[in-house]
Amino acid sequence: MAAQSLSEHALQALREGRNAEAAALYLQHMADGRRDLAAAVNCAIALRRLRRFEEGLRVLEPYRGAALAAVPYTLGQLYSGLRRWDEAVAAYREARTFQSTPDLELSLARALLALGQYEEGFRLFESRVDVADFPTRRLQAPGIAEWRGESLEGRSILVWMEQGLGDQIQFARYLPRLRQAARIGVACHSALVPLFSPLADEVFARDRPFTAKGYHHWVLSMSLPHRLGTAIDTLPPTPYLATPDAYREKWRGKVPERVGVVWQANRNNPDGALRSLPSPDLLDPIRRATTVVDLQAPRGDFADLAAILEQLDLLISVDTAPAHLAGALGLPAWVLLAPVSDWRWGEGETTPWYPTLRLFRGGWEEMIARAAAELEGAAADG
């Protein structure tokens, strides 16, 4: 196949999402040291989609300094995939010297947030609403102004809790900071309504039709850190959620096991499969070490889950909403993080967002073996 034909076929494969084929064709096209800037960028894009980050860097780093914004931008994505956040930030800043786009601003924001640089990171995170495939958009609420941080004295505000259940739980910590408002309304997932009710005057299930009347302002929940001037050392503390008494009484004495497990993340999340264990059988070493209750299947709403978690010694979970709930309640949890772990988990074994959480990193079997060994050691110690 001629060189031109190879690159044309590779480009077509890339456009159609056949990334493994595209990468192979581009690598063949560039064999024997052929230099082709466009092919190198596209090959790196295909390799990034395949999560072959190191290989992507080997292809693209020789072109660093080329007068093309796609080079540093794609390098930033590759560095981010490897959690090499400082290098990612440098690459994204270089890309901004060519042009600024919402996608670029959001990528830079995530890298800065992973480094704990919250003030600039959350300011740039505002770009998310302008990214084409991001799940959040500005509210269309005629007659209601977006809140930009001005005084709420004598005013009312509606907070739209963004994205998934874990995101909504994480950012609910900011609701008490709005208490100067005359009235606070919250629109969240119906499964969270009982837990969020003490934090607001009105709580609406956003996944069901509702009417919110008489509000002066609205704000997206993930804009609150920027609007309130959050830095890494000024995060609202935990616990900020509490199990309702009726739910606590409902579950009292009904959970004899010591450890709860959650092994699958939300499959509707683009990274859900990557954050999930391939099989619950991988948890067998933990089952041999202690008594375990599988909390994967819902047992009511999240107030039910909160009441269950209160009766356990520990939750062991992949990166998904129950881990956030444990942290928001101030309860202990071990979180098994896939390599796809995002900005909120930073680096290391702890996170300022949830001081009672411990973060495990590595391969699934390795993390589970470490957890099981620690549980066995704790049992032996009595």
pLDDT tens profile 156-177: 999 999 999 999 999 999 999 9
Nearest alpha-carbon partner for 198 in 298, 299, 303: 303
Across the range 304-309, mean pLDDT stands at 98
Pairwise CA distance, residues 371 & 381, whole Å: 15
342 to 115, 238, 272, 337, 361: CA distances (angstroms): 11, 21, 12, 9, 12
What's the predicted TM-score (pTM) here? 0.93
**Rounded average pLDDT over 91-96:** 97
Amino acid at 211: T
Mean pLDDT for the chain overall: 93
Cβ neighbours of residue 62 under 8 Å, at least 6 residues apart?
40
- Provide the 10 A C-beta neighbour count for residue 28: 16
Angle, in degrees to the nearest 10, between helices 37-49 and 53-60? 170
Region of residue 214 (phi > 0: left; psi between -120 and 50: alpha; otherwise: beta): left
pLDDT of residue 381: 67
Instruction: Check pLDDT > 70 for residue 380.
Output: no
- Residue 209 clears pLDDT 90, i.e. is over it: no
- Give me the percent of the chain exceeding a pLDDT of 70: 98
Among 339, 362, 319, 377, residue whose Cα is nearest residue 169: 319
| Per-residue model confidence (pLDDT) at position 23 | 94
Q: Which tokens sit at 264?
A: 């699958």
**Is the pLDDT at 154 greater than 70, yes or no?**
yes
Could you read off the pLDDT of 346-366 as tens digits, one per residue? 888 999 999 999 999 999 999
In Å, the largest CA–CA distance within the chain is 73
